[in-house]
Amino acid sequence: MGRENAQLCAAIANNDYYEQLVMDEAQIKGLDKLGPLAITDGYLNVTDEPGLGYSFDFDALDQTALTKVSVTEKIE
């Protein structure tokens, strides 16, 4: 389960199955409220953006990082 697995499932042309662990009826009723992994009418829709569906705020990451390392040279 997770965005990575959802994107992999969507990328396989003959795959029509994604498994979501469900523990009780309340969770079943909340499947449409799972954000990027929401299941609506039995379908899981994934983003068509490149990558795994994560968006990063790099400015916020830079502000909260303990340290930042920049690689400036290429070793051949």
pLDDT digits (tens, 9 = 90+) for 35-65: 888 888 888 888 888 887 778 899 999 999 9
Phi, psi (5° rounding) for residue 40? -120, 125
Model confidence, pTM: 0.59
Nearest CA among 45, 53, 43, 1 for reference residue 22:
1
H-assigned helices in 1-76: 3-11, 25-29, 58-64
Query: Distance from first CA to last CA of the chain, Å, rounded?
Result: 39
* Dist CA 6 CA 60 (whole Å): 27
Looking at residue 19, what is its pLDDT?
Answer: 83
Looking at residue 34, what is its pLDDT?
Answer: 85
Determine the average pLDDT of the residues in 19-34: 86
pLDDT digits (tens, 9 = 90+) for 4-16: 888 888 889 998 8
